[in-house]
Amino acid sequence: MTDFIGQTVDAVRRALAARLKSAAIDSAELDARLLTGHALGLDLTGLITAAQRRLTPEESARLEDFARRRLAGEPVARIIGEKEFWGLPLQLSAATLVPRPDTETVVELALELVRAGGDLNRPLRVADLGTGSGAILLALLSELPAAQGFGTDISQTALQTAAANAARIGLSDRATFVPCDYASGLSGPFDLIVSNPPYIRSSDIAGLAPEVRDHDPRAALDGGADGLDAYRALIPQAADLLAPGAALIVEAGAGQSSQIQALMTAAGLMPAKAPKTDLAGVPRAVAGHKTAR
């Protein structure tokens, strides 16, 4: 795509959008804006004010590389190395999932339960099992100013990414990251435990969208034969660490909420609230609470 050389910012943005649209990429306009801005180091305002500036050869080459990667199916978030979640800019790495809007349902339900139990400003101990980029934990800490958070992951690279995100957002003093499998390295009690574990059935991985299948870490996707392996591991661990009256909230795949609720019940956790649905109406966040003694 050498036609970017010497073209204006506005012209290359529009040309890239057209190329993406012709490749049947639904988010062509948004993707073109994000990729052009990242290649040139410009935010939305900068794209407007610099609309008639012409690209240097270096900028053109960078944008051409981004365009090639997007047309090959690489997600924009992977190309620019960042994704917004709950209004927070999060860096990504090869060891982390790209945070998705559906996962904000877990944050919403968690805050509803905390609010129902009292003041959001009260001291709380919060754990995020399999934290990845730190998305859920950092979103909760941004809303719970007196909470202390603990994020776990078996990937050291993921933990480094999460720690960098905590520092970037200004939450390092309240976020601790622990290398372990789910809750195996934590000591309770916790007032809230959350998790977005792998829940895709192994046989379904091949049929996922290429943006997910080819670019998200398989370990963060593959939930075993029935998609429930991670829940069988983490739910009993979490139940042992919850304070009386505290809740565990997990993200669920389509059609899994009742099975997950049954696993929670078997671990001694009672339904805390009806599963919260995402924008598509899928029960996405499932909660169980430890009965108060």
Taking the C-alpha atoms of residue 21 and residue 32, their distance in angstroms, rounded to an integer, is 10
User: What global pTM score does this model have?
Assistant: 0.93
Report the mean per-residue pLDDT for the chain. Answer: 96
Residue 210 annotated as part of some ligand binding site: no
Residue 268 annotated as part of some ligand binding site: no
Tell me, yes or no, whether 98 and 50 share the same domain: no
Tell me, yes or no, whether 7 and 122 share the same domain: no
| 137-165 pLDDT tens trace | 999 999 999 999 999 999 999 999 999 99
Sign of the dihedral defined by the CA atoms of residues 119, 135, 27, 281, in that order = negative
- DSSP helix/strand/coil, 86: coil
Tell me, yes or no, whether 26 and 115 share the same domain: no
Tell me, yes or no, whether 136 and 279 share the same domain: yes
Q: Find the domain containing 47 and state its range.
A: 2-80
Tell me, yes or no, whether 150 and 283 share the same domain: yes
How confident is residue 1, by pLDDT bands cut at 50, 70 and 90? very low
Can you give the CATH number for the domain in which 197 is found? Answer: 3.40.50.150
Does 281 score more than 90 pLDDT? yes
Tell me, yes or no, whether 202 and 272 share the same domain: yes
Q: Which amino acid is at 172?
A: S
Write the secondary structure of 87-117 as one string of H (helix), E (strand) and C (coil).
CEEEECCCCCCCCCHHHHHHHHHHHHHHHHC
Between the two ends of the chain, the Cα-to-Cα distance in Å is 67
Residue 41 annotated as part of some ligand binding site: no
pLDDT at 2: 52
Residue 153 annotated as part of some ligand binding site: yes
Name the phi and psi angles at 290, rounded to 5.
-85, 125
Tell me, yes or no, whether 157 and 245 share the same domain: yes
| 179-238 pLDDT tens trace | 999 999 999 899 999 999 999 999 999 999 999 999 999 999 999 999 999 999 999 999
Tell me, yes or no, whether 20 and 123 share the same domain: no
Taking the C-alpha atoms of residue 147 and residue 252, their distance in angstroms, rounded to an integer, is 25
| 29-70 pLDDT tens trace | 999 999 999 999 999 999 999 999 999 999 999 999 999 999
The total number of structural domains that make up the chain: 2
Residue 46 annotated as part of some ligand binding site: no
Residue 210 token pair: 């290429």
Residue 197 annotated as part of some ligand binding site: yes
Segment holding 128, helix H or strand E: strand 124-129
Tell me, yes or no, whether 24 and 153 share the same domain: no
For range 20-35, the mean pLDDT: 96
Tell me, yes or no, whether 171 and 188 share the same domain: yes
Does 293 score more than 80 pLDDT? no
24 CB-near residues (< 8 Å, 6+ apart): none
Can you give the CATH number for the domain in which 39 is found? Answer: 1.10.8.10
pLDDT at 40: 97
User: How many CB atoms sit inside 10 A of residue 247's CB?
Assistant: 26
Last residue of one domain, picked from the residues 57, 80, 103: 80
Taking the C-alpha atoms of residue 284 and residue 251, their distance in angstroms, rounded to an integer, is 6
For range 71-85, the mean pLDDT: 96
Residue 131 annotated as part of some ligand binding site: yes
Taking the C-alpha atoms of residue 269 and residue 254, their distance in angstroms, rounded to an integer, is 21
Residue 165 annotated as part of some ligand binding site: no
Strands 190-195 and 269-277, by their bridges, are unpaired
Q: Which residue has the higher pLDDT, 91 or 4?
A: 91
Nearest to 140 by CA among 103, 168, 98, 181: 103
Last residue of one domain, picked from the residues 42, 59, 80: 80
For range 114-125, the mean pLDDT: 94
Name the phi and psi angles at 244, rounded to 5.
-55, 130
Tell me, yes or no, whether 107 and 73 share the same domain: no
53 CB-near residues (< 8 Å, 6+ apart): 8, 9
Residue 231 annotated as part of some ligand binding site: no
Residue 73 annotated as part of some ligand binding site: no
